[in-house]
Amino acid sequence: MRRERQGFVRACLIIGSALLAWAAAGFLLGMFMFIPTAMLLVVAAFVDPRTRPGLRDRGVLDALLVAVAILVAFLTRPAPAEPEPDSYQARLDSGSRLHEQDFATRKDQLMGFGATTASGYESCQHFYLEVEFPEGLPDARRAELKKQIAMLPGVVEVELRAIDGC
């Protein structure tokens, strides 16, 4: 290849450019994995085979690559496996509680403690009150909201949970 430099340069540029185009076209299908190979081929076309980088240059390049890799690893936060909890579920002692005037009045007062909605439902022969709150509600306000829910008449237990998306 040393004597046929033009052929090497031409092959690197053609294959590298084709891989870049292929990776760009299929980016959403996972073909972005071709980008490092394509970039390496394009850069290889412009490297002079008679000069070699010194050990110092190689060390600087390696340190830079490691620093970038560490920075990317710490700055990219993986998505949580489970969604953030954004509601309290309170189990009630009976379904008649949902229709009592005092319960309805006190349920509406939960909006002042950070709740966005409060609704009752029945599931597996138990009655529940679902109290939703905004995603960014501070922990202190969440604790106060939970305390207020627990003080409602007929509440047996209160637990934090995520709202199902389905």
Which one of 22, 42, 75 terminates a domain?
75
Tell me, what's the pLDDT at 9? 85
Query: 54 falls in which pLDDT band (50, 70, 90)?
Result: confident
The whole-number average pLDDT for the span 41-62 is 76
Average pLDDT of the chain, as a whole number: 79
Which is higher by pLDDT, 125 or 95?
125
Per-residue pLDDT of 74-120, as tens digits, reads: 888 776 666 566 888 888 887 666 677 777 777 778 878 778 888 77
Is residue 154 packed enough to be buried (19+ CB in 10 Å), middle (13-18) or exposed (0-12)?
middle
Tell me, what's the pLDDT at 119? 79
- CATH value at residue 105: 3.30.70.260
Which one of 54, 75, 96 terminates a domain?
75
Q: Indicate whether 81 belongs to any domain.
A: no
Task: Give residue 102's domain range.
Answer: 87-161
Q: Do 60 and 99 reside in the same domain of the chain?
A: no
Q: Under DSSP, is residue 98 helix (H, G, I), strand (E, B) or coil?
A: helix
Tokens 């890799």 map to which residue? 69
Which is higher by pLDDT, 132 or 85?
132
- Dihedral of CA atoms 162, 130, 112, 159 in degrees, nearest 10, equals -60
Q: Indicate whether 80 belongs to any domain.
A: no
Which one of 75, 97, 121 terminates a domain?
75
Percent helix, percent strand, percent coil in the chain, to nearest 5: 55, 15, 30
Tokens of 139: 């922990």
